Amino acid sequence: MSMPTIKHVRAFTLRGGGADYHDQADGHWIDDHISTPMSKYPEYRQSRRSFGLNVLGTLVVEIEASDGTVGFSVTTGGDLGCWIVEKHLARFIEGARVTDIEKIWDQMYNATLFYGRKGIVLNTISGVDLALWDLLAKVRKEPVHALLGGPVRDELTFYATGARPDLAKEMGFIGGKMPLHHGPAEREEGLKKNLEMLADMRAKVGSDFWLMLDCWMSLDVEYATRLATAARNEFGLKWIEEALSPDDYWGYAELRRNVPRGLLVSTGEHEATRWGFRLLLEMECCDILQPDVGWCGGITELIKISNLADAHGKLVVPHGSSVYSYHFVITRHNSPFAEFLMMAPKADEVVPMFNPQLLDEPVPVNGRMKASALDAPGFGVRLNPDCALYRPFPR
């Protein structure tokens, strides 16, 4: 079979939820007084949108092959991501064979080293990479997971992230991860409220259900140690997530040494590339790595991160990212379960994570998803034609 070449890459922006899942209307649990590194400023404490968490918007990358097949992806990146794709990365993509995924990644990464390495540039490289995997799998008429070695389990099991682990338990999830609401700036009273929320939820879900806290980079080592110790010893917390700044590898190493035995330390959703995760592993920063496949460098890089983690005996439980995670998690022994982000404003029902941007996006039923739900070619999703795409830098 002769492999098609890539004719065009196009980059679009899109507003209103979806891949930029923080871009929600008022009254959503995901923007309700969640502790952040900006919470030290009272004027930015109530809402994450107030300090601009939703400024980027969704980046849609569309790649068209010479045989007419189109692959696409969505991630967070907006206009800036479009600029990087159209003005810089397109030269490495157009004209290449659809199988040139590894070479294109290497060229994109090395050509952007002088202004990239992490953040928006890696989000954008991830977006291109996911679209390339979608394209190649569609050309081959196979699901992406088949290209990754195939499923190692018959189904995925999920924990739920949201404000209502008690409802998540009723819906069949294996655990519930809540956002932390009060940071160190709210002092002892805030710490007390954080523990009261956990106590209340533990009483509602019983003793066996996993409960986790997502601290969204907002704590310091001392506060995180106190919180984790009380939360583990009194309320059986399963893990404490992203307690510190992603730049503070030394703090994570100290926190992991400080917390009670059995409590897991997780981080990595704002980390990127094999080199960033190598630091987390070699400095013994955590027990669970949580790369976001739409931000860490795409599937091509997640393979490397996952293999490195496996050799260190660590779990990889990717952050959110819907089908882009599911196709990977189902192929890995060291990714035994997956995250589901509850995007219903009150976290009281299961809705597709990237709603409304994708069609055919599978969701867990009773906290599970059969491997057969992922058997359509590519990542198995379509862009919703009702969503208005905007191409800021057409060529």
Shortest distance in whole angstroms from residue 177 CB to Mg ion:
8
Shortest distance in whole angstroms from residue 319 CB to Mg ion:
6
Shortest distance in whole angstroms from residue 242 CB to Mg ion:
5
Catalytic residue among 22, 319, 327, 333: 319
Shortest distance in whole angstroms from residue 184 CB to Mg ion:
18
Q: Which is nearer to Mg ion, 31 or 269 (CB)?
A: 269
Shortest distance in whole angstroms from residue 38 CB to Mg ion:
16
CA nearest to 144, candidates 72, 85, 77, 81: 72
Phi, psi of 267 (to 5 degrees): -170, 175
Distance CA 120, CA 295 (A): 8
Distance CA 244, CA 265 (A): 11
- Per DSSP, the three-state class of 352 is coil
- Mark the segment that binds Mg ion (CB under 5 A) among 87-95, 212-220, 328-336, 385-393: 212-220
Q: Which is nearer to Mg ion, 171 or 243 (CB)?
A: 243
Distance CA 314, CA 312 (A): 6
CB closest to Mg ion, residue no: 214
Shortest distance in whole angstroms from residue 122 CB to Mg ion:
17
> Judging by DSSP bridges, how do beta strands 155-161 and 368-370 pair with one another?
antiparallel
* DSSP E strand stretches across the chain: 6-14, 58-65, 70-76, 155-161, 175-179, 210-214, 239-241, 264-267, 288-289, 315-316, 338-341, 358-359, 368-370, 382-383
- Residue from 100, 186, 214, 292 in contact with Mg ion (CB under 5 A): 214
Under a CB-based contact definition with an 8 Å cutoff, are residues 294 and 319 in contact?
Answer: no
Q: Which is nearer to Mg ion, 136 or 264 (CB)?
A: 264
For the question of residue 182 being annotated catalytic, the response is: no
The C-alpha angle with vertex 84 and arms to 80 and 89, in degrees rounded to 5, equals: 160
Binding letters toward Mg ion, positions 266-305, x by CB under 5 A = ---x------------------------------------
Q: Which is nearer to Mg ion, 155 or 220 (CB)?
A: 220
The two three-digit tokens of residue 170, written as one number: 């009723």
Q: Which is nearer to Mg ion, 49 or 138 (CB)?
A: 49
Distance CA 135, CA 118 (A): 25
- Mark the segment that binds Mg ion (CB under 5 A) among 191-199, 203-211, 261-269, 360-368: 261-269
Distance CA 68, CA 300 (A): 24
Q: Which is nearer to Mg ion, 23 or 269 (CB)?
A: 269
- Mark the segment that binds Mg ion (CB under 5 A) among 70-78, 265-273, 276-284, 357-365: 265-273
Give the footprint of Mg ion on this chain (CB under 5 A): 214, 269
Catalytic residues: 319
